[in-house]
Structure formats: structure tokens, C-alpha cells
Structure 1
Amino acid sequence: MPPIPSETHPAALPLTTAADVPEDQWNDWRWHMRKRINTVEKAQKWIRTTPAEEKAIAESAGKYRWSLTPYYASLMDPDDPLCPVRQQAVPSLGELMEYHGTDVDPVGDMFYRKTNRVVHKYPDRVIMLITEACPVYCRHCTRKFHTTDVDGTYFEKNEGEDFTADLQYIADHPEIRDVLLTGGDPLSYMDGKLEEIISGLRAIPSVEIIRIGSRFPVLLPQRITTELCEMLARYHPVWLNTHFNHPKEITPESEQAIDRLLRHGIPVGNQTVLLRGVNDEVDTMRKLMTELLRIRVRPYYLYHCDNVTGVAHFMTSVEKGWEIMEGLQGHITGFGVPQYVLTTRLGKIPMAQPSYKQVPEGLLLRNYKGQEMVVSQDVYPVTEPSADHGDGGR
């Protein structure tokens, strides 16, 4: 039986909650950024840290950065280290273990990087890694080396230096019609700096779409201010993709942030990461997707967790991903089912299992219940008719 904490031990002291913070401060995203939690002592004001968490925080010092906003801390179960929100934000010993096949850059950012910030992987679109900073350093980040590894980053120069070379590369490649701002989190910048970057992109005639990848709607929804949305709306079409990974992250504050974006004409998509112990159950994923639809966020991708150094403990099997997808198909509306993908140097590879196969009689089809039927080649031709045989009366 563990020892009973003394009255002065952190575990025995009352915890902070959102209700303890004055409303004007709680609603100010700058207050949350100033008050970010990045020590055991600060964390113990919100959660009762375990010895394993305290050891992970100590041993990751000098290796990985970590911080979380008071808002995101308020979503954590203060007593359960397996809380799905807590696992995403508090360091764990799994980050320091070695796993087979890990890589600091499995998606090939450095391989495809053309300037200090521009990564040109697909013909008609690029990403711009415009910052290392995030409000919360997610423990499962694909770019963990770039954002939290103390000695590592993809940048050759300081991130805030002149963007001229990056914008010039995009202007010199008119095939680029779609630019995704990512990082880190682009909304870590103040509105003025962010507008400077976006206006520079909008001045390039060939750039049709500007997208922003941001977890602020999840980690600190107070950042989605009316002023920010009005600024973004001046540069339409602007899209925003975010990462809700668990239903606990959908709160009245995040719902209001999404509503504000939508009312300013900014569509919001969601890119969930499949994470062991966080959302790798069918019921959890169904609830997440239906809740996203309720707040008018379109499920976009279900990412298989990348085999990133310091992240591999979150990985599931691909078979688990298939199980999740089977459990979604047919149980929620079609546009609520994300595309399951594995990200590689070759790009995003769709991983959904086919619901059909070719048989001598035609096509063998299978529905979400596992029921099967065969449709004849005469009804739904599998192959195009040859010119010699005509079109079969069609």
C-alpha cells in the first residue's frame, strides 16, 4: 500500500481547475501561452503526477522539449496516467526506449526540402515549415525531431528570418497551386507575422489555395479569435486542418472556435492519428467521428502513427487500423469515414482493405456486416470491352 501523502506533499494539495482562473484570463490565449506547464512542479498544480511520469520528465530533459497549456491540462484526468489527453501531452518513458526501424524523418521532409522552409513532395502542392513552436508539444508528433528534439531541427537558419527565398521558389514553380503552412504550429505566430506570410503567398498568381495545419482548435481554442478569422478571410480560399484525436478534446471552447472559423468561410478538416492506448478502439473512434460531424468538422485522414524516433510506443499494427475502418464503414454516414493512410517517402499510401475482389463470375462484393454477393460481369463489367468485340450493346 503506497504511503499516505503528508499535508504538504503535492499529491495531497488541492488541484487547480479552470474555475479557479479569472474568466478574462482563461479566455485570453496569450495568458495560456505565458502560463504553459513545463516542469513537474507546474504539472502538479493540475494533475497528480506518477513516479513514472516524473522520471520521464527528468530523463527527457536535454533531449525533448515539453509544454502544455493550462486549457489542455484542464481536460486531463488528474488521477489517471492513462487518460487519453494526458498521454498525448505528458512525457512517458516510452519516448526514451529504442524501437526497431525508427527514423527522425520517416515522411521525407528533409529529402524533399527545397529551401529553408519549402518541402516539395507532390507535383502541385508544397508545405512550408514556418515555425518550430507549438502551444503543446504532442508526444506523438511526426516532426518530433524538428519541434521537440533539443538539438534537432530541419531549419538551416533561424525560423523568423526573411521568407523571400521560400516565396520565390513557389513563384518560380507555377505548377504549385496549393500551399500548406505547418511547422510546428503556424498559429503560434501573432496575427501580424502570420498575415505577412499569407499575403506574400496570395501575391503569387499561381497559388490558388492556402491551407493551415494547426492543433490550436484542440490545444488552445481561445487562439481562434474573431480578429484572426477576419484576417484569414481576407485571403480566401483558406482552409484549416486540425487534429482531434479523442472525443474528450471536443469541448464547448473548441466547438466555439470551429464555429468561428466556419462563419468566416474557413472549412475545417480533421486528421486523426491512430494512437495505441488513446483511440485504438472502434467505439472511441466512432464517437470521435460522429462528434466531429456534429460540430461540422469533416473527418479527412486517419493517419497510421509513423515509426518516428521517440514516438514508436504509440504505434499500432496495420491490422488494428483495418479493424477500426471496418468498424466505421456502414455505421456512420459516408463522409464521416476518414481515409486511412500510411505516410512514407513515397507519399500518403491509402491503406483501406478493398470490399470487393474479382472472381470468374464477375465481382464478389462485401458490405460492412460481412454479407457477400456476386454481381455478374454482364451487369457491372470489370474490364473495358475490346474494340474487336464492340460495346456489348451498351
Structure 2
Amino acid sequence: MNRARISQKDEGLKRQRELTRIGRSRLRERKKVLSGFEAWEKILKQKEKILKVLGGTEEDWQDWRWQLKNRITTPEVLRKILPLSDQALWELQEVSKTFRFAISPYYLSLVDPDDPDCGIKKQSVPSILEILDDTGELDPMNEAGTSPVAAVTRRYPDRLIINVTNMCGMYCRHCQRRRNIGEVDRKTPREQIKEALLYIREHKEIRDVLITGGDALLLSDLELDWILKELSEIPHVEIKRIGTRVPVTLPQRVTDNLVKILKKYPPIYINTQFNHPREVTPEAKKAVDKLIEAGVVLGNQAVLLKGVNDNPVIMEKLNHELLKIRVRPYYIFQAKRVRGTMHFVPKIEDGLRIMESLRGYTSGLAVPYYIVNAPGGFGKIPLLPQYLIELSEEEAVLRNWEGRIIRYPNS
């Protein structure tokens, strides 16, 4: 074996050792962040406590209507389940005068009562910071100004949104539409939905319709069946999408009858919102499996939230856990600048840092797009770290995931 081949082999072995070191280091860091599967025993203990407080049974727990009816909506009931100081109770009472809150018993069971920085708790339990915020906007995406008819938001040439309800299994503290929550749950009146459908029929360039809310899957089976049937009968509508957080906050809603309805109207794409690995549980997987059985294509639109998941290891672990249950990481959204939620909004450089930490360190399947929604309703803007350093007619100067500078011929 000549010296050149020996040198090449030595370099190859050196490179393999380097990759092994990097891979094992990342693995050690990921193991520190527990998924819902890994924390399941503790979650089940919280479930037992919640059932005792609410006077429910295992049969009740698996009934999504019971889950909705028994959402935790007062600070006093919440205190029976989570440890809250007198100060924390007072703060909750003050916030709830301005911003409604509701947490499904299932999602509350995911909260780690021993972790003051629990990302699940931050997403579900109100913070005093919500009423101290005077910088955010009520409607930063200008949904009111991009609505050609009631219940419709349109920002693009070939697609639009139908807003069908204000109801959710849980009212996320970072919600972009918290202005619509109001004091009571309500679905969009049938006449407004009909007006939206007429608009779609008259605009043949619309090929993609997103049904959202609130949470679109909290409509009754009959109402959802009707909407999907109407859309499926419009020849130029090629794709129906549903926006829902049900697999995350209320997986019991994915019933056998719901599966039968979804099966009837392909193709249906569902984008959900898992934001933390702890949300990926056996119950969530069960719901996802049923949706996949219905022929639904599933993607995830995480929201980058300060103090919840603005951490490279947490985001990497989340995306790995999602792929294990057959949900494709699709977007990481920069949190919107909504009034009452500004404490969740990270710096854009934090998002870019996370994207840097994913590319090359994990498979492309686990690398979503990082998206900033343009204020005023001007659509999604993808952001990437800068990998193109210089470009001429002769060559491109590129930077790879490790920071190595690569010269690539361009002629």
C-alpha cells in the first residue's frame, strides 16, 4: 500500500473518530431532555391526581367531550393540581380578568409539577407578563384587513384560510388569535361558512384551502363532514388542509368516526403544533396513528418560544421524536408579536442559531424551514443561516455545516 493510500486511510479514520465524538456528544445532551414517552410514568401520576380532583374515571378520560367539559378554567381548581403560591394564585386571578384561559385535563397532566421552568406549564398556565405587555399588537398579521368575506383570510394567489371556530382544547398562552377567544366558545355561523364556500367557487385560482380556527377538529363530526364534502365538490380545490393542535392537547378527539369522515375526502393534509418533546406521548402517537390510517399526511408547525424550546437540543429532540411517530417537521415559526405574548418572542438570531445546530448534525428530514410571518399579512418569509459566502462567474465560496470553507466551480 503506497503512502498516499495510507494517508487517505488515516484521514478517513480520523474523520470517523471526529464524527463519532460529535454524535455521542449530541446524544448525551438529548438524553437530558425527556420526551413524553420517557416521562410517561410521571405523567400518569399527574393524570391520577387530576382525575381525583375532577371526580373522573378512566372512561371519562378517554372521552374528548368530557375533556372539553372539564377544562381547567379557574385559578382555584388549578391550585388543587399544581403547586401555586399565594402570589402565583393572585397573579393568575389578575391575568384571567383580561385573558381567558382553559387547559384540557390531558394537557395539564403533561406539566411537570417539580420543574419551575416546565415548557408545558409556560404554554398553558397564564403569566403576569401577559398583562404587563403594552407593545404587542392584537392582530399583527392583519387578518381583518386580508379578509375578502367573513371567515376568510387570503394572503396568497392560490390558497386561503377558512376560520371555522374559536374553540380549542387548550388556549395556548402564545396564541396568535387570542383576540378571537372571547368569553364563550362558538363556531362560525353556517351562513358565513356558505359565504366563504361561494367565494371559493367564484375564484377558480384557489386550489388549496386551510380549515382552521381555533381548532378545526373541535367542530362536530357532522359540521366537519359537511365542510369537507362541500370543498371536495369544488372542482378546482385540489388540496384540503386542517389546522389543529388536537394530537397535542386533546388526542382523545381523534375517534373512529372522525377517521371515517377524513377517509372520505382525500387528499387531506394536517399540520399540527408540537412545541416540546414532552408533548410527544403514547396518547399523541395513538391519535397520530389513527390520522395516518385515515390517509392524512401529517406535518408539524412548531412555534419558537423563548423559555420553552429556543434551545438547539430541545428542538433537535422534538424533531427526532416527531419523526418516530411519523410526523414530518415542516416549519419553525418565529413567535408572532401579539399583545400579551411578547415574553415568548425570541431574537431572530436565536432561530438562526437553532437552524445552524440542525443542519448537518441531524438528517434533512429533521430540519424544518424557519419562518418569519411578515407583519401586515404579507406572507411567510423563510430564513436561513448564510452558507453562500461569495459568488462569481468562476466559483462559489460556500460554508458547510461545520464552518469549513468550500470552493465550488461555477463554470
Alignment partner, residue 369 of structure 2: 339
Q: Runs ≥4 in structure 1, deviation > 6 angstroms?
A: none
- Is the alpha carbon distance of 1:346 and 1:52 closer, same or farther for their aligned partners in structure 2, counting shifts above 3 Å? farther
What code does the residue aligned with 1:307 have?
A: R
Whether the 8 Å contact between 2:389 and 2:399 is mirrored in structure 1 is no
Q: What's the % identity of the aligned pairs?
A: 40
Structure 1 distance, partners of 2:155, 2:99, is 27
Partner of residue 382, structure 1: none
Which residue of 2 is the match for residue 43 of structure 1?
Answer: 78
Please identify, of 242-251 and 110-119, the stretch whose mean Cα deviation from structure 2 is larger: 110-119
Pick the aligned partner of 2:399 from 354, 358, 366: 366
Alignment correspondent of 1:257: 287
TM-superposed CA distance for 1:254, in Å, is 0.1
The question of 1:317 aligning with 2:373 is answered no
> Contact 1:64 / 1:150 at 8 angstroms: preserved in 2?
no
1:377 maps to a residue whose letter is N
For 1:78-89, list aligned pairs within 5 A: 78-89=113-124
One of 150, 159, 165 as aligned partner of 2:188: 159
Structure 1 residues 15, 170: closer, same or farther in 2, change over 3 A? closer
Q: Distance in 2 between matches of 1:37 and 1:269?
A: 28
> In the TM superposition, what is the alpha-carbon distance from 1:321 to its structure 2 partner?
0.4
Q: CA deviation at 1:44?
A: 2.1
After TM superposition, the structure 1 = structure 2 runs for residues 16-55 of structure 1, keeping only pairs within 5 Å, are 16-17=48-49, 21-55=56-90
* Cα distance in structure 2, aligned partners of 1:18 and 1:260: 26
Quote the offset at 1:99 in angstroms: 4.6
State the SS of the aligned residue for 2:154: strand
Measured against aligned partners, the alpha-carbon deviations of 1:235-272 in whole angstroms (never above 9, x if no partner) come to 11111110000000000000111011111110110000
Deviation for aligned residue 1:66: 0.6
Q: Which residue of 2 aligns with 1:291?
A: 321
SS at match of 1:232: helix
Partner of 1:8: none
Which of 386, 390, 400 does residue 354 from structure 1 map onto? 386
C-alpha distance 179-15 of structure 1, shift in aligned 2 (>3 A): closer
Greater relative contact order structure (CA < 8 Å, 6+ sep): 2
Check whether the contact 1:53–1:91 (CA below 8 A) recurs between aligned residues.
Answer: no
Return 241-250 or 180-189, whichever deviates more: 180-189
1:274: how far off? Answer: 0.3
Tell me, in whole angstroms, the C-alpha distance in 2 between the residues paired with 1:336 and 1:359: 28
In the alignment, is the contact (CA less than 8 A) between 2:138 and 2:338 conserved in 1?
Answer: yes
Work out the CA distance in 2 between the residues paired with 1:19 and 1:110. Answer: 41
TM-score, reference length from structure 1: 0.87
Contact 1:15-1:47 within 8 A present in 2 as well: no
| Alignment correspondent of 2:19 | none
Q: What secondary structure, in the 3-state scheme, does the structure 1 residue paired with 2:321 have?
A: helix
Residue 115 of structure 1, CA deviation: 1.4
CA deviations 1:303-327 (Å, max 9, x no partner) are 0011111111101000000110001
Q: Which digits, 9 at most, give the CA deviation of each residue in 1:186-210, with x for residues without a partner? A: 1111111111122121121111111
Match of 1:113 in 2: 147
Q: Which string of whole-angstrom CA distances, capped at 9 and with x for unpartnered residues, describes residues 260-296 of structure 1? A: 1111110110000000000011110100000001111
TM-fit CA distance, 1:53:
3.6
Note the C-alpha offset of 1:15: 8.9
Structure 1 position 60, deviation (Å): 2.3
Give the drift of 1:105.
1.2
CA RMSD of aligned residues (A): 2.0
The size of the alignment, in residue pairs, is 359
Taking structure 2 as the reference length, what is the TM-score of the superposition? Answer: 0.83
Secondary structure, aligned partner of 1:326: helix
Q: Deviations over 1:103-141 (max 9, x none)?
A: 111112111101110111111000011111111000001
Classify the secondary structure of the residue corresponding to 1:78.
coil
Out of 332, 354, 368, the position equivalent to 1:302 is 332
Gaps of at least 5 residues in structure 1 are 1-13, 379-394
Which deviates the most, 295-304 or 81-90?
Answer: 81-90
The amino acid across from 2:60 in the alignment is: Q
Is 263-272 or 73-82 further displaced after alignment?
A: 73-82
Q: Pick the aligned partner of 1:206 from 236, 257, 281.
A: 236
Instruction: Give the counterpart letter for 1:371 in structure 2.
Output: R
Specify the alignment match of 2:180 in structure 1.
146
8 Å CA contact retained: 1:117, 1:129: yes
Question: Which amino acid counterpart does residue 90 of structure 1 have in structure 2?
Answer: V
Report the 3-state secondary structure (helix = DSSP H, G, I; strand = E; otherwise coil) of the residue aligned with 1:300: strand
The answer to whether 1:123 aligns with 2:152 is: no
Partner of 1:364, secondary structure, is: strand
Q: C-alpha displacement at 1:46, in angstroms?
A: 2.0
Runs (5+) with no aligned partner, structure 2 = 1-45
Q: Is the 8 A contact 2:47 2:106 kept in 1?
A: no
Please report how far the alpha carbon of residue 185 of structure 1 lies from its aligned counterpart in structure 2 after TM superposition: 0.5
The whole-number CA distance in structure 2 between the counterparts of 1:185 and 1:326 is 32
Q: Secondary structure at the match of 1:239?
A: strand
Counterparts of 2:127 and 2:85 in 1: how far apart (Å)? 10
CA separation in 2, counterparts of 1:204 and 1:359? 47
Q: Is the 8 A contact 1:135 1:216 kept in 2?
A: yes
